[in-house]
Structure 1
Amino acid sequence: MTTIGIIGSGALGSNVARALAKAGIRATISNSRGPTSLSALIEETGPTITAGTVEEAASADVVLIALRWVDLKQVLSKLPAWNNRIIIDGTNPVEFLDSQSPDANDSANPLAAYGIKAIDLGNQYSSALVQDLVPGARVVKAFNHLGVEVLAEPQASGGQRVQFYSGDDSAAKGEVRKILETAGYFPVDLGTLEVGGRLASLPFGPLAAINFIKIQ
């Protein structure tokens, strides 16, 4: 049985855990504060979701990275070798702004009203930078293009919520597709990381934040 780990228990990680729990999919979720800080979430989701350390979650066959962009290097640099395991990159290159900071009122920032700021990656796409932080892993981009508040409900309006994914390893994409399907989403393959990642990444990807429903 494929094991699943989640690194990060903010809105992204917690809502994916809720979706997995509803489908009876087992996973270990973690954060920097330790397993005891997750007791309320574990009580809510039931026995299929367990709390663990970051290292325990990172040892799973498939690991969702549900971290803020600014925390990626600090967290991922401390983890052991990935040994061809699968990383689901759920991140987006944005910075969350303090409401009192000058950036939060910067008229040149079109996202200031949403409390975020795009991080300039130059000509790079975000998953290429994530790949550099997880050497030896097979990276699949998913869970990043929707508002986190809807992720806990894979089924909506009489249909299935579309979940875009992309990657450069077909076998890894197949494993992630199985998880998405079992959770109740309708997976749509956008191709390679460079193509699909750019299409679906927040904040400026043309498919970002578009909430498609596949009607039965």
Structure 2
Amino acid sequence: MSYAIIGFGKLGQALARAFARSGIEVSVATTREPESFASAAAAIGPGILPQTLAEAVKADIVFLAVRFESHRDVAKALPTWEGKTIIDATNAYGVPLEELGGQPSSAKVVAQAYTGGKLVKGFNHLVAAVLEQDPAVNGGRRVVFLASDDDGAAAEVAALAENLGFSPIKLGGLSEGGLLVQACGKSWGQLIFKDLVKFD
């Protein structure tokens, strides 16, 4: 299984740190040339591999750690996303509801752009400064929420979340659970910013 993070701002770097901490290789890419962020990637760890966007999207599981407005540009990197799982870590805060084209959730809009792909909403409800911390907290594990219309993809991403040290909680489909962890217009979902820890 191969992994990539598209976007290398605060969120992308927080995700990269989670991979580095767990010793799992991950490609990182932006719309810029890899040389422009290679030193930042190297500072996080040797398994953080700067690549071009075209190279990175070859991964099996792709994190979208870009601004919501940029998700369509990334989608154009492949003619089809068949066989790939996309983790939507975007937030559409400030995006007018009419720009969602009548869809109940921003994740549904993102899913439409990634033709053939399986979309999981996740890793977006915590601010980067919290997400980048060690998820082992006082004997428990920090929670990440996941929502998807594809049970197989949700299970796949839940397994990855566990490998990264988090405790995944599935919220159901994008039209139900996705609404709990999304930002739209000037409102935040009920579970956004909830920094929860699960104890086994």
Q: Do these two structures clear the TM 0.5 threshold for a shared fold by scoring above it?
A: yes
1:52-74 Cα distance to aligned partner (Å, 9 max, x none): 01111111000001110121222
Pairs aligned (count): 193
Aligned-residue offset at 1:215:
3.5
3-state SS of paired residue (2:176): helix
> How big is the alpha-carbon RMSD for the aligned residues of Structure 1 and Structure 2?
1.5
| 1:12 correspondence with 2:8 | no
> Partner residue of 1:131?
111
> Partner residue of 1:161?
142
Aligned with residue 187 of structure 1, among 168, 177, 195:
168
3-state SS of paired residue (2:17): helix
Counterpart amino acid of residue 127 in structure 2 = G
Counterpart amino acid of residue 96 in structure 2 = I
Unpaired runs of 5+ in structure 1?
95-116
CA distance in 2, matches of 1:72, 1:186: 26
1:66-85 maps to which residues of 2 (within 5 A)? 66-85=65-84
CA distance in 1, matches of 2:85, 2:21: 23
CA distance in 1, matches of 2:81, 2:74: 14
> Partner residue of 2:96?
119
> Partner residue of 1:144?
124
Q: Max radius of gyration: which structure? A: 1
1:127-176 Cα distance to aligned partner (Å, 9 max, x none): 11001110000001111111111111222344211000011111111110
C-alpha contact 2:53 2:77 (8 A) present in aligned 1:
no
Counterpart amino acid of residue 65 in structure 2 = A
Counterpart amino acid of residue 128 in structure 2 = V
1:199-214 maps to which residues of 2 (within 5 A)? 199-202=180-183, 203-214=187-198
CA distance in 2, matches of 1:179, 1:51: 20
Aligned-residue offset at 1:123:
4.8
> Partner residue of 1:111?
none
Instruction: Give the TM-score taking structure 1 as reference length.
Output: 0.84
3-state SS of paired residue (2:27): strand
> Partner residue of 1:114?
none
Aligned-residue offset at 1:48:
1.4
Aligned-residue offset at 1:185:
0.5
C-alpha contact 2:42 2:48 (8 A) present in aligned 1:
no
Counterpart amino acid of residue 141 in structure 2 = Q
Once the two structures are overlaid, the 10-residue window that deviates more, 138-147 or 70-79, is 70-79
CA distance in 2, matches of 1:172, 1:166: 10
